[in-house]
Amino acid sequence: MEIGVKIKQLRLQRGLTQEELAARTELTKGFISQLERDLTSPSIATLMDILAALGTDVAGFFRETQEEQVAYSTDDMFVKEEADGYTIQWLVTNAQKNALEPILVTIPAGVSGVEDDPHEGEEFGYVLSGSVTLVLGSKRYRLKKGGSFYFRPTRVHYLINSGKNEARVLWVSTPPSF
Domains of the chain, by residue range, sit at 3-62, 74-174
Average pLDDT of adjacent 10-residue blocks, the chain of 178 residues: 88 91 93 94 93 89 74 85 89 75 94 90 96 97 97 96 94 82
The pairing of beta strand 167-174 with beta strand 131-136: unpaired
Name the H helices within 26-131: 29-36, 44-53, 58-62
Burial call 127-137: b when 16+ CB within 10 Å, e when fewer: beebbbbbbbe
How much is the pLDDT for 100?
A: 87
Task: Say what the pLDDT of residue 113 is.
Answer: 87
pLDDT at 82: 84
Domains 3-62 and 74-174 share a fold: no
Beta-strand ranges (E) seen in 13-130 are: 78-81, 87-90, 101-107, 122-129
Strand 78-81 relative to strand 122-129, pairing: unpaired
CB 135 within 8 A of CB 120: no
Q: Classify domain 3-62 at the CATH superfamily level.
A: lambda repressor-like DNA-binding domains (1.10.260.40)
- Amino acid residing at 18: Q
Half-sphere exposure of 131 (CA within 13 A, CB side): 8
Please give the pLDDT value at position 71. 86
The answer, yes or no, to whether the previous bond of 153 is cis (omega within 30 of 0) is no
**What was the pLDDT predicted at 149?**
98
Residues 6+ apart with CB under 8 A from 79: 87, 88, 89, 90
In the prediction, which pLDDT does 75 show?
84
Q: Note the pLDDT of residue 103.
A: 93
Angle between the 18-25 and 44-53 helix axes, to the nearest 10 degrees? 120
Give dist(CA 91, CA 124) in Å, integer: 15
Query: What CATH number does domain 74-174 carry, 2.40.50.100, 2.60.120.10, 2.60.120.700, 3.20.20.70?
Result: 2.60.120.10
